[in-house]
Amino acid sequence: MARAPVHELFDRVESIAAVLEAERTANEELGHLGDATLAALRGAGLLALKVPAELGGFEAEPALQYEVFERVAYHNAAAAWCLFINADTAGLLGAHLDDEGLAEVFADGVVPFSCGGGGLRPGRLQEVDGGVLLDGSFRYGSAIHGAEWVMVSGYLGAGAGGRGQVLNCVLPRDDVIVAGDWDSHGLRATGSSTFRVESIFVPRHRLFDPTGPHRRGGAQYRAGVAGYLSYTVPAVCTGVARRCLDALIAEAPSLRRGYTRAVPLSERGSFHHFLGSADMRIAAARALVIADGVDFLQAVSSLEQSGHESIELRAREARTRAAAAYATHAAADVLHELVRWVSGASLERGSPFEQALRDVTMASSHLLMSESALENHARFILGLSDADPLA
């Protein structure tokens, strides 16, 4: 299957870099991505990053996804965050919807701007003729203000524990009531509001079992949650950390430290040690996730061919999640150390360094990146029977 040339995607990011830079502060003040940023992401064709190739998408492999998200984050963290939410969602829709659902959601072959997730809060589904009725309250609607379609999950029927079968539901953005209550410490421009759905009919062709076989695309669409989503948050964090480190390097000759004998930061040995270490930590963090992305896809493909995938795939997904968490925390640590070297004026509210610190702090709190990711990886290493990549 043909893949997108790497530099084609990188060039697409660079073609909109100026817009992403110019809109960063305005997006934060607005509380969600503005029209110019949304148009730039759409116009560059980046919404198709994870859409199956047979639908005209890039079907980018995990390592390439990571590098694209990272490059967008270098210019605008919130834009990268909303882009990966859309890319993850559009990829799943393209891989799983039946032909009728696909024709509606991807009307005229155009990849929609979509929002998915719901903050691990499945709604309630009632089966009716031709589909289901959906009710529910959901969290973290990142990019929902610019979305055309929203994907959430719901429980159908009462099974063990009162939960029942999980189905993913795709509904028009107009069917969703958005609270507009996103007022966070960081990632303010993602507009990640809570939202709710009240007895909305979802036809059968816009329903699918997220654990069922995919209809289109390659091995990556068989990955579980950890395997499919883990190349996103660390990409945002290393992209932001690298941007700040580059900015500090540029300012180091003019930043002076010391009371009685102020000298440029670029001449201080303690700064040299920090800079050398920080550069290597960011490089190592991103190299770990990129290498994992290559290895993970090979592992999933191999398991698919061998037919032995249960415990092996779960262990492999736990490792992928652990690598992502490790890289995320490494980038956050570098940024928290970095701000000690900048001037007080550089950390005034709304400054690039201050915004970056808030954004990465918020990003690193994502549930997939929690300390439990490393604990779960260790449990698989130890061969414990209750090991779970998402525990």
pLDDT digits (tens, 9 = 90+) for 13-36: 999 999 999 999 999 999 999 999
* 330 has a pLDDT exceeding 90: yes
Class of the CATH-defined domain 114-208: mainly beta
Max avg pLDDT among 3-17, 31-45, 150-164: 31-45
Report residue 159's pLDDT band, with 50, 70 and 90 as the boundaries: low
pLDDT for 177-214, tens place per residue?
999 999 999 999 999 999 999 999 999 999 999 988 99
CATH of domain 6-109: 1.10.540.10
pLDDT for position 97: 98
pTM score > 0.85 for this model?
Answer: yes
pLDDT for 63-121, tens place per residue?
999 999 999 999 999 999 999 999 999 999 999 999 999 999 999 999 999 999 777 78
Q: What are the sequence ranges of the domains in the chain?
A: 6-109, 114-208, 223-381
The secondary element (H helix, E strand) that includes residue 195 is strand 193-203
* 257 has a pLDDT exceeding 90: no
* 5 has a pLDDT exceeding 90: no
* 196 exposure class (CB count in 10 Å sphere: 0-12, 13-18, 19+): middle
Q: Inter-axis angle of helices 372-381 and 310-338, to 10 degrees?
A: 140
* 326 exposure class (CB count in 10 Å sphere: 0-12, 13-18, 19+): buried
- Tokens 């659902």 belong to 101
Which CATH architecture group holds 223-381?
Up-down Bundle (1.20)
**Given CA atoms 296, 367, 287, 72 in this order, what sign does their dihedral have?**
positive
